């Protein structure tokens, strides 16, 4: 029976379909847990209790909210572009799942049929980092279209803010990725992760390129519309911004997109700057004594632990720092971060040419 299952899994088409559903399942399972975690953390930061009535420790509160949204009244504002109004929430949600499918989440040595060198990823691409950047940028279209199609003042302002903010900070993120690619010598996400393994101590890019990490991290906050960069929805100014006119499941799709984007962005940071699923080789020598599926679970657990730590940091910042003013946000991006990103590329090039610090 086991041999039949393994034979079936070695079929490329069957394996691709299974990987696809597993990636979707991971993201869709993570989203309600992230909603619960944010509610509990915000309550703890504000000295409240948080969800504690629906299920043990309030764990079923997100499911109750989803059921409530499914039965809420759904309507169209007057004179809306119905096609774009319907498509916008899906466009905001899909890039998070598609981007996650490009990220390697573990490795199972001895199971090369899973992927090259046993790397576990839905899509193993040599240009994975470039493709991931291109796909993640598509989320801005969903927010902009939702704001424009609503035919309402506040959503339109939120959509315009979203477009301006994401375009500005995507430049910063792109320049940070250029510096990282120069140092790594590859755009393959799996190779970037394995380069950071080290022997006794991790060779994380967090330590080797701290300025690149800082630039990417700030841009990641802006890309995910997390405070202090949540200007597109700024409740005190725009009621709800781009999703003000949305109700029911269409509103839920926007929320799913926000948390799926958070999960994926933290996965990207863990891969690029924290070594992904790897730990120093001297620490991981004992893993080779286990069967391949146990090694796969261990590596996946290491990856998830890093992602959850980053998610906690993102939520901590959201409930700690106040929101920027719009002019402050744009000034930070164009007059501070972009010049810093350009200087970072120059510094990286000089270190590669004359310092010899990044010779692999």
Task: Give pLDDT tens digits for 83-99.
Answer: 888 888 888 888 988 89
Q: Alpha-carbon distance 139 to 263, whole Å?
A: 14
Residue 279, pLDDT score: 87
Please give the sequence-ordered ranges of beta strands (E in DSSP) within 9-151, or none if there are none: 106-107, 119-120
pLDDT bin (cut points 50, 70, 90) of residue 344 is very high
Do the Cβ atoms of 142 and 85 come closer than 8 Å? Answer: no
Arithmetic mean of pLDDT, 197-206: 87
pLDDT bin (cut points 50, 70, 90) of residue 8 is low
Arithmetic mean of pLDDT, 328-344: 94
Of the candidates 105, 124, 112, 123, the residue with the CA atom closest to the CA atom of residue 292: 112
**Which residue has better confidence, 360 or 322?**
322
- Token duo for residue 121: 């990823």
Q: What is the mean pLDDT of the chain?
A: 86
Whether the pLDDT of residue 286 is over 80: the answer is no
Residue 76, pLDDT score: 78
Do the Cβ atoms of 107 and 296 come closer than 8 Å? Answer: yes
pLDDT per position as a tens digit, 127-142: 889 999 889 888 888 8
Q: Tokens 């909210």 map to which residue?
A: 65
Residue 3, pLDDT score: 63
Whether the pLDDT of residue 199 is over 60: the answer is yes
Query: Could you give the percent of the chain with pLDDT greater than 90?
Result: 33
Do the Cβ atoms of 314 and 261 come closer than 8 Å? Answer: no
């Amino acid at each position: 029976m086991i041999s039949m299952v393994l034979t079936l899994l070695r079929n490329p088409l069957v394996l691709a379909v299974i990987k696809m559903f597993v990636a979707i399942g991971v993201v869709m399972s993570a989203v309600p847990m992230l909603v619960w975690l944010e509610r509990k953390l915000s309550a703890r930061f504000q000295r409240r209790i948080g969800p504690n009535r629906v299920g043990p420790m309030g764990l079923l509160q997100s499911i109750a909210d989803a059921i409530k949204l499914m039965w809420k009244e759904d309507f169209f504002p007057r004179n809306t572009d119905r096609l774009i109004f319907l498509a916008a929430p899906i466009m905001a949600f899909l890039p998070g799942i598609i981007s996650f499918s490009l990220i390697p989440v573990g490795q199972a040595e001895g199971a090369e049929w899973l992927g090259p060198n046993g790397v576990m990823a839905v899509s193993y691409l040599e240009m994975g980092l470039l493709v991931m950047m291109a796909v993640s940028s598509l989320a801005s279209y969903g927010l902009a279209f939702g704001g424009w199609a609503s035919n309402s003042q506040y959503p339109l302002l939120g959509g315009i803010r979203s477009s301006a903010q994401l375009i500005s900070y995507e430049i910063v993120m792109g320049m940070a990725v250029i510096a990282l690619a120069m140092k790594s010598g590859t755009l393959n996400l799996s190779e970037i992760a394995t380069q950071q393994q080290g022997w006794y101590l991790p060779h994380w890019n967090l330590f080797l390129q701290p300025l690149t990490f800082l630039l990417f991290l700030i841009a990641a906050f802006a890309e995910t519309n997390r405070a202090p960069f949540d200007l597109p929805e700024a409740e005190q100014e725009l009621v709800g911004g781009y999703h003000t006119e949305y109700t029911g499941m269409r509103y839920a799709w926007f929320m799913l997109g926000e948390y799926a984007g958070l999960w994926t962005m933290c996965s990207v940071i863990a891969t690029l700057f924290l070594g992904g699923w790897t730990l120093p080789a001297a620490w991981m020598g004992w893993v080779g004594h286990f069967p391949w599926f146990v090694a796969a679970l261990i590596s996946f657990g290491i990856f998830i632990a890093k992602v959850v730590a980053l998610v906690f940091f993102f939520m901590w910042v959201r409930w700690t720092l106040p929101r920027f003013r719009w002019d402050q946000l744009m000034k930070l991006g164009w007059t501070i971060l972009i010049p810093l990103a350009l200087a970072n590329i120059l510094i990286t090039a000089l270190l590669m040419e004359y310092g010899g610090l990044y010779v692999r």
